């Protein structure tokens, strides 16, 4: 059985010969082979660019009121992450508040926010939204609670 590398090499050679010698007609079999190679090549390129992940941390946030939200800095992908037309699939989050001081927390995308169930977890609730848009955390205190500093704000973003 012919290896994929040698098959691709043969297909390239046939394409070059067809361009150099226009009088030489390609047989149906050779054209089918070229079409298949081109299709596989495009599929491979699309698959490579289609999925990935990135992670980021942002500075801590002082949460001082129960009736006003405190937001983190924007959480953006590191430079060079290829997100053209990518959409979110799963996001893992983590943050820390001092022991015995629960906070209300949300993870937000410009299109909507998702209530977080605890200090760590994952969600698919933002799936399908544009992956190049910034994310951010939002926090509020429970009524009567003293101000707290929420730190260790981190996300791992999976996209397609």
pLDDT in tens, 137-159: 999 999 999 999 999 999 999 99
Q: Quote the strand ranges of 25-147, DSSP E.
A: 52-58, 61-63, 70-71, 88-96, 104-109, 112-115, 120-123, 136-140
Answer whether residue 29 shows pLDDT above 80: no
Cβ distance 63 to 70 under 8 Å?
Answer: yes
Tokens of 154: 């981190």
Torsion of CA 139, 160, 85, 83, to 10 degrees: 70
Q: Could you tell me which residues come within 8 angstroms of residue 76 by beta carbon, excluding any fewer than 6 positions away?
A: 56, 134, 135
pLDDT for residue 44 = 44
Please give the distance of CA 9 from its chain centroid, rounded to a whole number.
34
Q: What is the pLDDT of residues 96-151, one digit of tens each?
A: 999 999 999 999 999 999 999 999 999 999 999 999 999 999 999 999 999 999 99
């Amino acid at each position: 059985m012919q290896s994929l590398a040698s098959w691709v090499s043969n297909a390239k050679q046939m394409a070059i010969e067809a361009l150099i010698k226009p009088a030489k007609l390609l047989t149906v079999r050779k054209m089918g082979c070229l079409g298949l190679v081109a299709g596989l090549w495009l599929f491979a390129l699309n698959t490579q660019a289609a999925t990935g992940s990135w992670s980021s941390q942002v500075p801590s946030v002082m949460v001082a009121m129960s009736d006003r939200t405190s937001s983190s800095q924007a959480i953006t992908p590191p430079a060079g992450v290829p997100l053209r037309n990518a959409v979110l699939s799963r996001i893992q989050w983590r943050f820390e508040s001092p022991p015995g001081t629960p906070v209300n927390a949300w993870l937000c995308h410009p299109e909507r926010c998702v209530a977080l169930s605890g200090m760590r977890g994952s969600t698919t609730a933002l799936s399908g939204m544009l992956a190049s848009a910034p994310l951010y955390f939002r926090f509020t205190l429970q009524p009567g609670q003293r101000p707290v500093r929420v730190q260790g704000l981190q996300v791992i973003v999976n996209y397609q």
